[in-house]
Amino acid sequence: MILREYTGNSTGMQFDPRTKIILLILCVISATIAPSLLYESVLIFVVAVFGCASGKVLRSLLCAAFYGVFYMLTLFIMSLEKGGLYTVFTSWLGLFYTVYPCAFLAGIILSTTKVGEFLTAMNKAHIPNKVVIPLAVMLRYIPTVREDWEYIKDAMRLRDITPSLLGFLKKPAMTVECLYVPLLMTASNTADELSAAALTRGIENPRPRTCLLRIRFRGRDVAATALAICVLVLGFVWERIV
């Protein structure tokens, strides 16, 4: 039974979860084939526009500004004479430019997609449960671990232990013991707990899921997908037109 329109994110445009997955796949391909830094900047701009349209304006602007800092740093490094340091930095920055657009878009998707909406969309797309269940657990895993990490930091501040570089240099053994070991244990247990919770709530039920939200493709989904395809095609023909 459907009672109302899809309004999972009231502060911005609502995109179908299937559209978000398609956009992420296209973004991964675009970042992999990126022929130049200028094309990478175009890709980041498009992701930032999508983030602003989804209601994550501040996050999108901050991530775009962070990318701008690395872009200027890259231009500076490329102006230096080639050597060992040049090779190290260019190799690391190459990895950064491949991963960052995908991480940027994935962060927006995770923060604007609820598990119930995602499961309904996947069932409509007839995706098998062997694929849906791990993805559903992943959607809850990262926010849960982040929340536990904040709790660990708050507790350790009472013992004058912080996760900063300065705190690690002052008390390396204590920082590892009181911060990172609990985080690893929490991360290990969280996956099992979320999987058990999903099974308890009937995620393996073969019957069609019901949803209070109307999840369907709209004009905005078509426009976003078309824009992502255009960016991907631009990557293949970039060297011919620039």
Q: Give the pLDDT confidence of 136-182 residue by residue, as tens digits.
A: 777 788 788 888 888 888 888 777 777 777 777 777 787 777 777 88
Residues 91 and 176 in one domain: no
More confident residue, 27 or 179: 27
Domain of residue 186, residue span: 127-201
pTM of the predicted model, to two decimals?
A: 0.77
Residues 85 and 103 in one domain: yes
Residues 166 and 192 in one domain: yes
Q: Beta strand 4-5 with 213-214: parallel, antiparallel or unpaired?
A: parallel
Say how many domains are in the chain. Answer: 2
Average pLDDT over residues 119-127: 81
Residue 242: its pLDDT value, please?
65
More confident residue, 213 or 138: 138
Residue % of the chain over a pLDDT of 70:
89
Report d(CA 184, CA 96) in Å as an integer.
Answer: 25
Residues 113 and 131 in one domain: no
Is there a domain that residue 64 lies in? Answer: yes
Residues 24 and 143 in one domain: no
Residues 25 and 107 in one domain: yes
Given a cut of 50, is residue 2 above it in pLDDT?
no
Residues 54 and 95 in one domain: yes
Nearest Cα residue to 101 out of 71, 145, 146, 126: 71
Given a cut of 70, is residue 209 above it in pLDDT?
no
Report d(CA 213, CA 4) in Å as an integer.
Answer: 5
Is there a domain that residue 2 lies in? Answer: no
